[in-house]
Amino acid sequence: MASISASGSSATDLERKLPEKTGGVSEEVGDGASIDTGMQQSVSAEYQRYLTLHERFEGDRKKKLVRKLDWRLLPVLSFLYLLCSLDKSNAGNAKLFGFLEEVGMTGTQFNLALMYLFFTYGLMEPVSNIALRRLGPKVWFPIIVCGWGLVTTLTCMVSSYASFVVIRLFLGLTEAGLYPGSYFILSMWYTPKELATRMAIFYGANTAAGAFGGVIAYGVGNLDGAHGWRAWRWLFLIEGVITVATGLCCFGLLPQFPHQYEGKKSKWLTEEELDYARLRIKYVNGPNAPTYVFRWSDVIDAAKDRKTWLMCMMFWWGGSVPTYSLSYTLPTMVKNLGYSAVKAQAMTTPPYIFATCVCVFVGWASDRFQQRFFAIMSSYTLGLIGIIILWITVHYPHLSGVSYFAIFLAAAGYSAQAPIIGAWSSVNIVNPSKRAAAIGLLMLFGSVGGGSIGSNIYLAEQAPVYPLGFGFSVGATILGAMIPGTIHWFLMRRDNLRREKMDMHEVQATYTLEELADMGEKSPLFRYTL
């Protein structure tokens, strides 16, 4: 059976039209794709419906649809991630408000408790993404948000090291699904050319959490002693109650996946908009659409794919290790520059605001120029420059201003890489079930490895110079992330060049549409986004 050739992710907007029948010749369909006119009858009616809608939505109608998606998805997911980041990292702020002294913990015990969170957090991430894939965000997300909000609220009752360990383990279980799940949700609504910008805006909530965390902690610091409670108890109570309330609102705020609306109506999109939103994702790589039926074989395939593990290395060593270590120690690091505990909280805000702006800009540029590898390497380089300057200048107290400037660079660089890695993983994995599993596995090792290591490399007894922390961050970025990232780019580029040399007529004669669809990104018609 002859088939249709598609240029994969290099033609993600898919400017395709069905050609008029002209006998037996082949006419162009989009960016380098062609369809044998004798095979037009084999194209599904649904795909023809998509082509018709694609013409109707050219220009302003498409922009209006994307704006609707933006306003419905991004504010909700970003605010959830803001709360998730606050509830996970507020222990660093609580530490400055006498948490260790009142509970009776040592600095080592505190670091260990922070590390334990990432074991349950990481192990639950792929499980949660599979549950999300099957239940949908409208059901699964309210459950996990209310769950971690309740755990955060109960943290205000911690009275010993053991109880804090239990709380952190349960917090890891309940928070695990938000980050990888949100990436997966965005990949189900946006085309590859739109994805990195949205993931960057979403991830910006993580860096914004650092800014809000400092402001909130600064405000809560004034409650110290109110009703006999130290400020750290008020911090956990207030943030936890807000999270539970937000989780309850998610039942009405979050939409389902596009394919779950098939045959149904929506209050926020017209019937035609909903149909196009669903079909434009399904057929983003041409008529050989992936299956939306959940299969365990796709999960296994994700675990066997080299792309999963190379991206995992990048996210683990170049993202999680330096990012988590920075978020947990930044208030203390700023305090070591000579500021009071309360002022140090406020001083952490500007670097995170700057990091949020850089994160969104890099995401936009990555989409605009379709250069994922370059965007990631640029982010790593910026983070490295910041860490190296900070490593040098902390030895000289009179250079505190330079050290503070270096924190801006480090926070921005290590924040900006994360959404691009998520986008790069998503656009190069076609099957939704495999994509969900791959993102879950990526987050598992990034969280367990990065979080557990990152929370333990900046040792209190080495303050303020932290030789282990700074040295480990630099080595992990270069050896663990930049080198695997370059290998990943080289292998995908090699595959693209090899496929370019293949005879497309022979491919069309060899495979059916169903076979090409089942092959996903391994199809000879697919081109990896570099």
Residue 27, Cβ density class (10 Å: 0-12 exposed, 13-18 middle, ≥19 buried): middle
Taking a C-beta distance cutoff of 8 angstroms, is the pair 476, 318 a contact? yes
CATH architecture label of 60-495? Up-down Bundle (1.20)
Q: CA 476 to CA 361: how far, in whole Å?
A: 25
Can you list the residues of the chain whose pLDDT is less than 50?
1-42
pLDDT at 31: 34
pLDDT in tens, 173-198: 999 899 889 999 999 999 988 999 99
Q: Is the previous residue joined to 464 through a cis bond, with omega within 30 degrees of 0?
A: yes
pLDDT at 250: 92
| pTM of the predicted structure, to 2 decimals | 0.79
Domain locations along the chain: 60-495
Residue 264, Cβ density class (10 Å: 0-12 exposed, 13-18 middle, ≥19 buried): exposed
Q: CA 86 to CA 96: how far, in whole Å?
A: 15
pLDDT at 328: 65
